[in-house]
Amino acid sequence: MTMDDLPELALSVRQPWVWAIIYGGKDIENRSWQAVNHGLKRRGRIAIHAAKGMTRDEYDNTRDFIANIGGEAPAAIDLRRGGIIGSVEVIDVVSKSESPWFFGPRGLVLRDPKPCSFIPAVGQLGYFKWERADPSILPEPAKWMDDGEPFTGRSVKPVEMPLFNPVTQ
């Protein structure tokens, strides 16, 4: 998928949840009522933006959640932040779901994730029109993510794995 193929509207999500949407079988994006209320009528394909921020607690809690339903999140340092990583189709908004990813109070029902080459972009709350940004906006890894090597702006290793579906696996 190229930049020209991506939808103009995006939704920003924090890592590693955004990785789970594109690569890990996450079929629900949980939102508060207020956050979903602005997009209740919105259906169709949207770009998925990886927010710049990710705390150690957010990473650890999400990694543990993914492990508890049978998946495995990549190392924190391997998660791209501050740009578009793919797209997904929003097909519904629900207040209940059998999905192991749902914890509400509302959820955007997602399907057909499609990864793309990483595109730096500035995120916003809610749905927003995104545009390519200068790579200088990309955050360096936090000290807790440090793998002992100096940060060189390297690209994340591609995630070579089948899409995970906790309902069928």
End-to-end, the C-alpha distance of the chain in Å comes to 27
Q: How many Cβ atoms are within 10 Å of 57's Cβ, its own excluded? A: 8
Task: Please tell me the total number of residues recorded for the chain in this structure.
Answer: 169
Q: Using one digit for the tens of pLDDT, what is the confidence trace for 24-60? A: 999 999 987 665 556 566 789 999 999 999 999 999 9
Q: Using one digit for the tens of pLDDT, what is the confidence trace for 72-103? A: 999 999 999 999 999 999 999 999 999 999 98
Residue 169's contacts (CB-CB under 8 Å, 6 or more residues apart) are 70
